[in-house]
């Protein structure tokens, strides 16, 4: 992975899957594409992030910020917020 990438781990484990992880993954891919961030992003599907019951869950590095109970409109907000921070998405 390039140091100039934002690494997003999105949980697609059984519990998160039942809580809408697949829809969140699609929304994330769409948001990254719409913001021109695909080449500066690495999305990894996690089997379980150990926060079952609070999902769908995602953690973003290098910041190490966790998100639970993801919703589609929240995905857009998260991408916008990380884009405005000191992150590889800004460079």
Site of interaction with ligand FES (CB under 6 A): 11, 13-16, 48-52, 55, 57
In the complex, the smallest distance separating the C-beta of residue 23 from ligand FES, rounded to whole angstroms, is 14
Least Å distance, CB 89 to ligand FES, is: 24
Nearest residue to ligand FES, by Cβ distance, number only: 13
Q: Which is nearer to ligand FES, 31 or 56 (CB)?
A: 56
Q: How far is CA 17 from the centre of its chain?
A: 14
Q: What is the dihedral of CA 26, 28, 34, 40, to 10 degrees?
A: -130
């Amino acid at each position: 992975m390039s140091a100039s990438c934002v690494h997003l781990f999105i949980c697609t484990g059984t519990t998160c899957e039942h809580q809408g992880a697949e829809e969140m993954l699609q929304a994330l891919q769409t948001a990254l594409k719409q913001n021109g961030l695909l080449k500066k992003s690495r999305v990894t599907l996690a089997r379980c992030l150990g926060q079952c019951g609070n999902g769908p869950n995602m953690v973003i590095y290098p910041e190490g910020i966790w998100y639970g109970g993801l919703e589609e409109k929240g995905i857009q907000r998260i991408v916008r917020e990380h884009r405005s921070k000191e992150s590889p998405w800004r460079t």
